Amino acid sequence: MDFIDKIREPVKAKLKEMNYELVDIEFNKQYGVDNLTVFIHKKGGVSLEDCNKVHVQVDMLLDELDPIPGAYVLNVSSPGLDRLLISQADFDRNTGAEIEVMLTEQAGKKKIKGTLIARNDEKVTLKTKDKEIFILNKDIEKALPAIKF
């Protein structure tokens, strides 16, 4: 959506001023109502108070920019524990953490769990129990933080 591209940088700059990181912006319809959701990150985690504080500032910014035609609901949220790792920033944020990588069918359709060492334009480096492995980005169907219960 064009308006998401128009608001991404101003929202990102506002969040940076406030010491938050923009993870993503989504626009969808829920129960017949347009919803704009801004996903944020902060070292140490995002609280309800953080979401409220960001909501007020982003709402004022969007009122100034007025990029979205019609009415919509603004939501501010943390990405959640089970959010897919997609961008380089997602992988950077999870460096040193345990992740799960599901490989594509062409790469064997298996799941690999390990500590994320690094990711670049070509590959992901994981440390498993017994070795360090490299997985080509093109062979990754999905990657997400490992959730421990």
Q: What is the edge-to-edge ordering of all strands in the sheet holding 33-41?
A: 21-30, 33-41, 73-77
2-77, which class in CATH? alpha beta
**Which pLDDT score is estimated for 76?**
97
- Residue in the structure block whose two tokens are 């959640």: 80
**Which pLDDT score is estimated for 149?**
74
Residue 62: how many CA atoms within 13 Å on its side-chain side? 26
Q: Looking at this protein, which amino acid is placed at residue 39?
A: F
Percent of the chain with pLDDT over 70: 99
Mean pLDDT of the region 84-100: 91
DSSP three-state, residue 75 = strand
Mean pLDDT of the region 93-104: 94
Query: Is the pLDDT confidence value at 141 over 90?
Result: yes
Percent of the chain with pLDDT over 90: 76
- CB-based contact 93:46 (threshold 8 Å): no
| pLDDT per position as a tens digit, 46-70 | 999 999 999 999 999 999 998 888 8
Mean pLDDT of the region 6-24: 95
CATH 2.30.30.100 maps onto the chain at 88-145
Decide which of 3.30.450.20, 2.30.30.100, 3.40.50.2300, 3.40.50.2000 is the CATH code for 88-145. 2.30.30.100
**Which pLDDT score is estimated for 148?**
79
**Which pLDDT score is estimated for 1?**
58
Mean pLDDT of the region 130-135: 94
Q: Please tell me the distance from the alpha carbon of residue 142 to that of residue 100, in angstroms, as a whole number.
A: 8
CATH 3.30.300.70 maps onto the chain at 2-77
